[in-house]
A and B are shown apart, each in its own frame.
Chain A
Amino acid sequence: EAAVTQSPRNKVAVTGGKVTLSCNQTNNHNNMYWYRQDTGHGLRLIHYSYGAGSTEKGDIPDGYKASRPSQENFSLILELATPSQTSVYFCASGDALGRAEQFFGPGTRLTVL
């Protein structure tokens, strides 16, 4: 059974709308991450978390918020979605920040029209 799951898997949103991407992990990992993947840019870190209640800004946090209400759940929130946020979003979990294997979810394909 998949240890990192994401929902929804596909999402079409309108410009200016609010979008929430959800991630759940059963690895009991302290650390969780949100990345976006775009052609030519690889994986870019948006937000990450050390544990429940903590969120940290990654390399490209503008236009995104994050929420970690529990060890298992980590959400990415787009308050006012823009077409430039059309991308594939991956959630990942890991034991120790940066030095342990990160396990990725299946991804969410977001299209903002």
Chain B
Amino acid sequence: QQQVRQSPQSLTVWEGETAILNCSYEDSTFDYFPWYWQFPRESPALLIAIRPVSNKKEDGRFTIFFNKREKKLSLHITDSQPGDSATYFCAASQGGRALIFGTGTTVSVSP
């Protein structure tokens, strides 16, 4: 059973639009939620992360919205740029244990 789920599987937006990536999880004890991004033929790299003490984390054009009650979070990419085209992975961990990754959302930004 997939403990971290992501949707949609793929997403295409126009340059300048806001892309919204969704993530949900099963285990209510998860206490750390990073998002990684991966460009074609490259390795994953940390983009932004949040802990349940906050319901929002912002870093430039990237914002995580977190809803602990519904066990959902989302990543918003505002003013999307072609350079944002990548696969985005939501992940989660609990009590310092290893990360569990979702299956990813592939974002394409068209100029």
Contact = CB atoms under 8 A, between A and B. Distances in A.
Are chains A and B native binding partners rather than an unrelated pairing? Answer: yes
Interface of A: 33, 35, 40-45, 48, 58-59, 90, 96-99, 101-102, 104-107
Contacts of A44: 101
Given A43-B44, A43-B89, A90-B44, A97 B102 contact: no
B100 interface: yes
Given A43-B44, A43-B89, A90-B44, A98 B101 contact: no
Interface string B71-111: 00000000000000000010001111111111110000000
A90 B44 CA distance: 9
Between B44, B95, B97, the greatest number of chain A beta carbons within 10 A of the residue's beta carbon is seen for: B44
Contact of A98 (B43, B44, B45, B96): B96
A42 B96 contact: no
A42 B43 contact: no
B32 interface: yes
Nearest to A44: B101
Contacts of B94: 98
B45 A99 contact: no
A40 B103 contact: yes
B101 A42 contact: yes
Given A42-B102, A42-B104, A97 B97 contact: yes
A98 B103 contact: no
Contact of A41 (B44, B45, B98, B103): B103
